[in-house]
Amino acid sequence: MYTMNGYMAGCNLGHWISQYGRKGAEHWDTYITEPDFARMAQWGVDHVRLPVDYFIFEKDDNPGVYLEDGLKYVDNTIAWAKKYGINVVLDLHHAPGFFFGNGEKNDLFTNAASKARYINIWKNFAHRYAGEGENLRFELLNELVWDNSDPWNALWQETAAAIHAVTPERKVIVGGNKWNSVWELKNLYVTDNPNIVYTFHMYEPFIFSHQRASWIPNHVAYTKPVTYPFAADDHLDYYGGQLPAQMERGGMVDKKYLRKIFAPAAEFIEKNGRPLYLGEYGAIANCDDDSAVRWYNDVADLCLEYGIGRAVWSYRGFAKITDGQNEVHDIRMVEAIARK
């Protein structure tokens, strides 16, 4: 059994200092604060994944100058987490030259200046947090979307080497292509360096986890509620009459289906003898509570079976772990995401 000790049951701190829209300091100073860490520790959460957008601490017109006004939020996260016995994954969610939603605008792999800025950011983090131990891990990039994995395999190895030149024991997390798809794990270069950790994301079945999501036009148009589990044929019209490969006509979309989705992860662990980290999973607030609880528990069951650490998206926003007032929405969801 390969496990992610200390990183088995976590929460993403999404929409705080990443993907925050046009919000500013008032939002950053209030959205996540120290009492949130006390509460997560009480739940049994052992780590947080902190998505960070580079422009909160570095401006495009002044690259290489890192702003304390932005970095203090990372500092605070590490300090608060340590106080309450929680570990931290520092995730560069929006990097110079790359964001998973930017498509052709991305130039991280084609622009030397973007590449240099990216590596230098991680060098700066390595120096800044050199005194931290296993309580802090670095996740180099969120949700690669590129024509193939070769440029990323080269860049992450170069970046990890730069980090390890400063802090040789720092755990560095890398994910695969197509939004960190589990199916892309096979295209990640696997090194014998024990300080490299591999990750994927999982929101299957997407029709359930993102039902009626406002930013996905065909989900807005598809107003039929999706419970979990469900009969595949009940939503055949959503799939245009052609079910995905892992679904069966006349079959159920349930834990057995999720096991098929997890199959490449199980194969990766078996083949490489390396632990895996599920950096994002979650059920949108539009899901009914009972279905969400069942789904969260099925995901937890499979992660625990395979020794996969996981972090729900997200502590605030998207899911119904907490409501709009940051109060616990349904204790059953909390219990499911905190299972270890």
Active site residues: 143, 280
Give 114-167 as a DSSP string: HHHHHHHHHHHHHHHTTT--TTEEEE--SS---S-SHHHHHHHHHHHHHHHHH-
Long-range interactions of 128-135: CB distance < 8 A, separation 24+? 128/71, 129/78, 129/90, 129/167, 130/166, 130/167, 132/78, 133/169, 134/6, 134/87, 134/171, 135/6, 135/78, 135/81, 135/82, 135/87, 135/88
Residues facing 48 on adjacent strands: 11, 88
Dump the DSSP string for 221-246: H--S---SSEEGGGGTTTTTT---TT
Angle at 6 between CA 273 and CA 177, to 5 degrees: 55
Residue 82's nearest CA partner among 132, 127, 36, 39 is 132
The tokens for 198 are 């591999």
3-state SS, residue 283: coil
**Bond preceding residue 194 cis, omega within 30 of 0:** no
* Distances in whole angstroms, Cα of residue 85 to Cα of each of 181, 195, 259, 314: 30, 22, 32, 20
Instruction: Find the length of the chain.
Output: 340
Q: How far is CA 63 from CA 55, 114, 118, in A?
A: 10, 10, 10
Angle made by CA atoms 334, 335, 340, in degrees to the nearest 5: 120
